[in-house]
């Protein structure tokens, strides 16, 4: 529905680093290639100042659409950790009292890996009741808690809110928001339009995404449920004019607007 009681909140998610966690745990934390519903709702909850134990019922009903304006590249952060007291690290085993035992033979250094998206830019759109989104938009502009893109170590660059749209749905919103890519990516594009990947939440969608949180409570942990999504390509103006072609109409290799590496962000 796109009536006057509903609206679309548009967010720009850009940062040197962002990480949208998937099912990975422990010493290897991976990232998904685009923002998750859990991550975006967590950003909104932080902006409002909600406690981790606070219910998410009103936020879960929002429909999410994500447009990939600049996919970025994958970064692996490799580092080691140890006990500052010089003691052996804890193992996965426990004694009869339920206490973790230390590694035997003793292990003093562990390895952990974290994966991030670097120099990525996304447009996230949330469709739902207008009064709710008006409050969320105000909270994003004046957040109670610091905003982050997936992890606390990933603060956003520049303003996050791109405002509210009324009278349109998710797909139309993703088609009308100006291209948000960085200057380097813009210089690589010569055509008047660019095709961008979009993932849109839709009950009739042909694919499933497992990223809907039930809570952010650290004591109980988060369980994720599924939502239906569909994938589309949307065409967005770049602000450039079409390059001139030769009189013969065949053009040259430099005139072509086909860029086979565009989706890789090269």
Q: Give the phi and the psi of residue 254 in degrees, each rounded to 5.
A: -70, -20
213 or 1, higher pLDDT: 213
Residue 258: pLDDT above 80? Answer: no
Among candidates 83, 128, 85, 123, which has minimal Cα distance to 107?
Answer: 83
Query: In percent, how much of the chain has pLDDT > 70?
Result: 87
- How many domains does the chain contain in total? 1
DSSP lists the bridge partners of residue 81 as 110
Query: pLDDT tens digits, residue range 149-192?
Result: 999 999 999 899 999 999 999 999 999 999 999 998 999 888 99
Work out whether strand 193-201 and strand 224-237 pair parallel, antiparallel, or are unpaired. antiparallel
Residue 79 lies in a domain: no
CATH number at residue 179: 3.30.70.2660
Residue 87 lies in a domain: no
Instruction: Give me the residue label for tokens 């996304």.
Output: 122
Beta-carbon contacts of residue 108 (< 8 Å; ≥ 6 apart)? 82, 83, 86, 88, 89
Confidence of residue 252 (pLDDT cuts 50, 70, 90): very low
Residue 209: pLDDT above 50? Answer: yes
Q: What is the pLDDT of residue 25?
A: 67
Q: What is the pLDDT of residue 259?
A: 60
* Residues 256, 245: Cα–Cα separation, whole Å: 9
Residue 165 lies in a domain: yes
Query: pLDDT tens digits, residue range 80-116?
Result: 889 999 999 988 888 888 888 999 899 999 888 899 9
- Compute the mean pLDDT over every residue in the chain, rounded to the nearest whole number: 89
Beta-carbon contacts of residue 249 (< 8 Å; ≥ 6 apart)? none
Confidence of residue 263 (pLDDT cuts 50, 70, 90): low
Q: What is the pLDDT of residue 79?
A: 83
Q: What is the pLDDT of residue 255?
A: 43
Residue 237 lies in a domain: yes
Residue 18 lies in a domain: yes
Residue 82 lies in a domain: no
DSSP lists the bridge partners of residue 199 as 66, 231
The secondary structure of residue 31, as a DSSP letter, is B
Q: Give the phi and the psi of residue 102 in degrees, each rounded to 5.
A: -90, 155
Domain span at residue 143 reads 6-74+119-264
Q: What is the pLDDT of residue 266?
A: 58
* Residues 229, 201: Cα–Cα separation, whole Å: 4
Residue 110 lies in a domain: no
Q: 10 Å Cβ neighbour count for 246?
A: 9
């Amino acid at each position: 529905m796109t009536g006057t009681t509903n609206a679309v909140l548009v967010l720009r998610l850009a940062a040197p680093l962002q990480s949208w966690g998937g099912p990975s745990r422990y010493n290897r934390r991976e990232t998904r290639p685009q923002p998750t519903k859990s991550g975006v709702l967590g950003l909104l909850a932080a902006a409002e100042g909600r406690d981790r134990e606070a219910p998410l019922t009103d936020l879960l009903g929002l429909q999410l659409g994500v447009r990939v304006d600049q996919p970025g590249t994958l970064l692996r952060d490799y580092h080691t950790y140890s006990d500052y007291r010089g003691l052996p690290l804890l193992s996965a085993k426990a004694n009869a009292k339920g206490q973790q035992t230390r590694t035997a033979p003793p292990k003093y250094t562990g390895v952990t890996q974290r994966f991030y998206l670097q120099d990525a830019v996304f447009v996230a759109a949330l469709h739902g009741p207008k009064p709710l989104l008006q409050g969320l938009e105000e909270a994003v502009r004046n957040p109670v808690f610091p905003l982050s893109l997936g992890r606390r170590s990933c603060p956003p660059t520049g303003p996050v809110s791109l405002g509210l749209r009324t009278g349109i749905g998710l797909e139309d919103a993703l088609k009308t928001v100006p291209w948000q890519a960085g200057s380097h990516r813009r210089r690589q594009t010569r055509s008047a339009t660019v095709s961008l990947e979009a993932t849109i939440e839709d009950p009739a969608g042909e694919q499933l995404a497992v990223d809907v949180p039930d809570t952010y409570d650290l004591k109980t942990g988060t369980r994720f449920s599924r939502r239906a999504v569909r994938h589309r390509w949307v065409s967005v103006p770049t602000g450039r004019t079409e390059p001139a072609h030769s009189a013969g109409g065949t053009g040259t290799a430099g005139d072509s607007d086909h860029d086979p590496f565009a989706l890789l962000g090269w």
